[in-house]
Amino acid sequence: MNDSSEFFTDSFEGISRKFTDIQMLCESGVSRLYRATRFGRLFVLKSLTPQSLRQSMYREMLRKELEIMMQLQHPGIVQAFGLETVDGVGQCIVMEYIDGTTLTDYIEGERRDTLSEEQRRQIIDDLISAVGYLHSKGIIHRDLKPENIMIAHNGLQVKVIDFGMADTDSHTTLKQPAGTLRYMAPEQTTAYTPDVRNDIYSLGLIMQDINPGKPYRQIIERCLRPIDQRYANINELCNAIDSTLASRRRRRQWAIASVGALCLAALGALAVWLFRPAQTVSEPVTRTIVDRHATDSLREVLARQQEENAATQAEMEAQMATRMGTMRDSIAQLHAESQRLQEELNRVSTAKTQALQAFDRAAAKSGVTRELDTLRHWSWRHADLNQRIQEMNRFVYDYVDALDSRFSASDRDKVREALLEHWQEWNSDVEKRIKTLRSKERG
């Protein structure tokens, strides 16, 4: 009988563990997007263009985007599964495939005139929820625009995509102005430090495009003010939306109650006229008594209606207070989790920086580069020099092994990866110098 491990092959009944049916979706700037199938499921692969792949800055941007996306677990944000090397594509981020269309196509396409006010507001609520989650993690998107917001065909689910420009305080590299000019906050053209209010400005323009109705006009207007006059954070924006919509509901309920009271008054007057007694000598006195009864009845109806309205308003305010309390608790928990994650990221980021500095000091102490600069020809009798070159490679692994217990296996892998890349650059420079010496010998 065959061992059970033989069942795990590259394909089983036409379902492959490798990416197949790879099709390029688009090429934008420095990156390419592909659609591919694995295990019968669709995925999106994001890689760099061949020209961008040769530049370390863009490779670092791809790695930074992956680090940010792997922190995120929210129904309104595209999910990343990891970094893989795929034949024909190269190194790429593997992400979920979203069966839908961009918000731009959705609000400007065939469904533009069929979207109800409620649907438009639901899209805005879902989008604000996703951005609020990002901010609670200490992440600023910096490139919010309708093209980076997907609407799933199933259930109008909002998905925020493209974190190539996203940033956090924990990242110390690639700090430069970023965004798309049409939806970019004015201060982003010069500011190097990301701010949650950058995204709030972009949200204002997106809400303007969605056109959710008159109640949102003042909210949108404040989102688009200068940075010090905008909403300070997503929580403040949510409170403004809730307050505006609650006020509108109260006005609508009062209008309905007023119309109801007028209708009751009209019906009462009509009943008095229809059932008035036969005319007698005492008719004026009888009519006066009936009119008083009708007036008293109307007053009682209006008083009951006002009591019911007051009770309904009190109930709505209590529900809103409960909801706001729950939201504040959730935001506080997310903020605490964000602080913890930022501390972890800062620890790893600091460890990377210290590791690279330690490598540079060890490389300088080895004297390899200095000695190569003094040689006029290369010979394999320089055994000591070759040994020192090899020792720099061992330095990488020895350094990581010496990290203390605060660092997890994943943290050590990140530090080792940064060191290996740094060693690769140093080693490439050494090999280039040796190659030059050999060329001189042959000449």
* Nearest Cα to Cα of residue 415 among 362, 345, 338, 341: 345
Instruction: Return the residue matching tokens 């790879």.
Output: 22
Q: How far apart are CA 211 and CA 19, in angstroms?
A: 41
Instruction: Return the residue matching tokens 């006002």.
Output: 306
Task: Compute the half-sphere exposure of residue 389: CA atoms within 13 Å on the CB side of its CA.
Answer: 20
* Nearest Cα to Cα of residue 76 among 121, 137, 134, 147: 134
CA distance readout (Å), 22 to 32, 43, 48, 361? 12, 10, 16, 45
CB contact at 8 A, 222 and 240: yes
Beta-sheet strands, E only, within 121-240: 139-140, 149-152, 158-160, 167-168
CB contact at 8 A, 287 and 275: no
Instruction: Let me know if 113 is a catalytic residue.
Output: no
| Residue 176: count of CB within 10 angstroms of its CB | 8
Instruction: Return the residue matching tokens 């008159």.
Output: 214
CA 229 remoteness from chain centre: 23
Q: How far apart are CA 209 and CA 201, in angstroms?
A: 13
The continuous run of DSSP H or E covering 355 comes out as helix 283-366
Q: How far apart are CA 108 and CA 18, in angstroms?
A: 37
Euclidean distance between the first and final Cα of the chain, in Å?
A: 65
Q: Which of 10, 87, 99, 143 is catalytic?
A: 143
312 Cβ contact list (under 8 Å, min separation 6): 253
Active-site amino acid positions: 143
